[in-house]
């Protein structure tokens, strides 16, 4: 038996790095590769594995110490008859950032940072800002066993530390598709990835409560996020004069009452949208999965966003082009009731070719709806207001309805988008055109 000094391995360009965790104590018997310390610079976190097997007889560092490559960190009692001193190789593959592979000394091997997603324009040994992760040794070991990059995991324990449950939740999220694997993101986005949002411990700033998201919110949230990330959105804003349409609609109120339905502006918006979809068939389409073809649909199934107590649902009015104003009003009534009672079937919610989100009954002037992919466009309808409009000779009071259309710029270019919205507005301004 003899006492050997253990030096801090080569930590690359890092200088004066804080020791934030010590995973061992005097008296511990350690094997080669057992995690000893966690170092944290302002840019990355590194776990330092043991390069020797033996018993720790003295620890020369403590939490908070600033250390550099080669500093004495521990005295280890080793069995001279079976000395095992191993160099730890740089194992982290691109795009994971690794400290540069400097020549490895027996007691000062090179280590790889635990964390990090690399950006393509950074050198291989450049650490990435925001790559901190606070976790106990056992959680680190657990994460490593599962191949989880702790910097991708949101910590929910005290002071934002990552718990075992957080790691498990992250793995579940990846397996269910709710989270993208960091490397997959890096490949899909040319190495940039999606920067994580740092979350403070809100309780540090005041009292908080927490409530679970509804099942619908979780499902729609995942879908909306995917649409937002996958579709290059452009939103075109416009408004149209619906004074005449409103006069006609008001005249229908008695009949509507007798039929037990409401004929809201939305019914005419659906009619006008179908006319515009027929004139601009590329809007009633989807991109093929490989992005090589546009699939033009010869049917007009209109998704309508419905606000329900449990969250947003988008039931679909099938063959809306074949329905009269009354039939559309019936269909909207039935589907929105079913949505609010949680009784929509998967069929009720599938197959839309174009969607409409109307907030006109609530308020607001304009908004940017998220395209309900694989559709390529969505219409947002806002609240009509009486406004003074210049008719060339004088200002006249007109009922103006703002609307917007978000579209997938891979399929629809700006000129096509504004032609669509202009045509739609014309149809609503003079709904007699819909008869032609």
Active site residues per annotation: 409
Q: Does 305 bind ligand CAO (CB under 6 A)?
A: yes
- Closest to ligand CAO by CB, 178 vs 359, is 359
Answer yes or no whether residue 429 interacts with ligand CAO by CB under 6 A: no
Q: Is the Cα dihedral 257, 332, 371, 341 positive or negative?
A: positive
Q: Tell whether residue 265 is a contact of ligand CAO (CB under 6 A).
A: yes
Kindly state whether residue 266 participates in binding ligand CAO, applying the rule CB under 6 A. yes
At residue 155, the 3 state secondary structure works out as coil
H-helix or E-strand spanning residue 80: none
Kindly tell me the burial class for residue 48, based on how many C-beta atoms sit within 10 Å of its own C-beta (0-12, 13-18, 19 or more). buried
Instruction: Please tell me whether residue 415 adopts helix, strand or coil conformation.
Output: helix
Interface with ligand CAO includes 131 (CB under 6 A)?
Answer: no
Cβ nearer to ligand CAO, comparing 9 with 360: 360
196 binds ligand CAO (CB under 6 A): no
CA distance 273 to 269: 6
Shortest Å distance, C-beta 47 to ligand CAO: 43
Closest CA to 109 of 182, 7, 23, 1: 7
Q: Hey, is 227 helix, strand or coil?
A: helix
Taking CB under 6 A as the rule, does residue 372 contact ligand CAO? Answer: no
Q: Is the Cβ of residue 34 or residue 307 nearer to ligand CAO in the bound state?
A: 307
Q: Is 381 exposed, middle or buried (0-12, 13-18, 19+ CB in 10 A)?
A: buried
| Contact residue for ligand CAO among 46, 273, 384, 411 (CB under 6 A) | 384
DSSP string, 59-71: E---TT-EE-TT-
Residue list 322-351, contact with ligand CAO (CB under 6 A): 336
Helices 414-429, 265-279: axis angle to 10 degrees equals 130
Find out whether 315 and 335 touch, Cβ atoms under 8 Å: yes
Q: Is 404 in the site for ligand CAO (CB under 6 A)?
A: no
Minimal distance in Å, beta carbon 385 to ligand CAO? 8
Ranked by CB distance to ligand CAO, the top (closest) residue is 360
Residues touching ligand CAO: how many (CB under 6 A)?
20
Q: Which two tokens stand for residue 432?
A: 């007699």
Shortest CB 359 distance to ligand CAO, Å: 5
Residues from 1 through 60 that contact ligand CAO (CB under 6 A):
none
Chain positions contacting ligand CAO, by CB under 6 A: 262, 264-266, 304-307, 312, 336, 357-361, 369, 381, 383-384, 401
């Amino acid at each position: 038996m003899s006492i050997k000094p253990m030096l801090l391995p080569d930590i690359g360009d890092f200088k004066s790095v804080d020791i934030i965790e010590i995973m061992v104590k005097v008296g511990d018997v350690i094997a080669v590769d057992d995690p000893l310390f966690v170092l944290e610079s302002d840019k990355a976190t590194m776990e330092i594995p043991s390069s020797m097997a033996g018993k720790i007889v003295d620890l020369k560092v403590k939490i908070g110490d600033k250390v550099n490559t080669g500093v004495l960190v521990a005295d280890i009692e080793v069995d001279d008859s079976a000395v095992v001193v191993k160099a730890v190789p740089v194992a982290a593959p691109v795009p994971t950032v690794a400290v540069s592979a400097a020549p490895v000394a027996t007691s000062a091997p090179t280590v790889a940072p635990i964390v990090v997603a690399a950006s393509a324009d950074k050198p291989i040994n450049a650490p990435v800002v925001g790559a901190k992760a606070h976790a106990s040794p056992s959680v680190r070991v657990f994460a490593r066993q599962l191949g989880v990059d702790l910097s991708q995991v949101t910590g929910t324990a005290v002071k934002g530390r990552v718990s075992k449950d957080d790691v498990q939740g992250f793995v579940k999220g990846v397996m269910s598709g709710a989270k993208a694997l960091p490397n997959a993101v890096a490949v899909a986005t040319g190495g940039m990835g999606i920067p994580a949002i740092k979350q403070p411990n809100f309780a540090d700033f005041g009292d908080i409560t927490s409530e679970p998201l509804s099942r619908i919110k979780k499902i729609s949230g995942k879908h909306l996020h995917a649409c937002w990330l996958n579709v290059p959105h452009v939103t075109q804003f416009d408004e149209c004069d619906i004074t005449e349409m409103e006069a006609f609609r008001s005249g229908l109120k008695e009949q509507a009452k007798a039929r037990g339905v409401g004929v809201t502006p939305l019914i005419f918006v659906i009619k006008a949208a179908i006319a515009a979809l027929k004139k601009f068939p590329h809007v009633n389409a989807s991109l093929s999965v490989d992005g090589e073809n546009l699939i033009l649909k010869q049917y007009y199934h209109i998704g309508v966003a419905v606000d329900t107590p449990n969250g947003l649902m988008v039931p679909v009015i099938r063959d809306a082009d074949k329905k009269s104003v009354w039939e559309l009003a019936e269909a909207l009534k039935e589907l929105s009731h079913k949505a609010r009672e949680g009784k929509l079937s998967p069929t009720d919610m599938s197959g839309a070719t174009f969607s409409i989100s109307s907030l006109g009954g609530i308020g607001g002037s304009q908004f940017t709806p998220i395209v309900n992919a694989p559709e390529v466009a969505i219409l947002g309808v806002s609240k009509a207001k009486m406004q003074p409009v210049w008719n060339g000779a004088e200002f006249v009071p007109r009922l103006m309805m703002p609307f917007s259309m978000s579209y997938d710029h891979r399929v629809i270019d700006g000129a096509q988008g504004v032609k669509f919205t202009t045509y739609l507005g014309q149809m609503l301004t003079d709904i007699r055109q819909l008869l032609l």
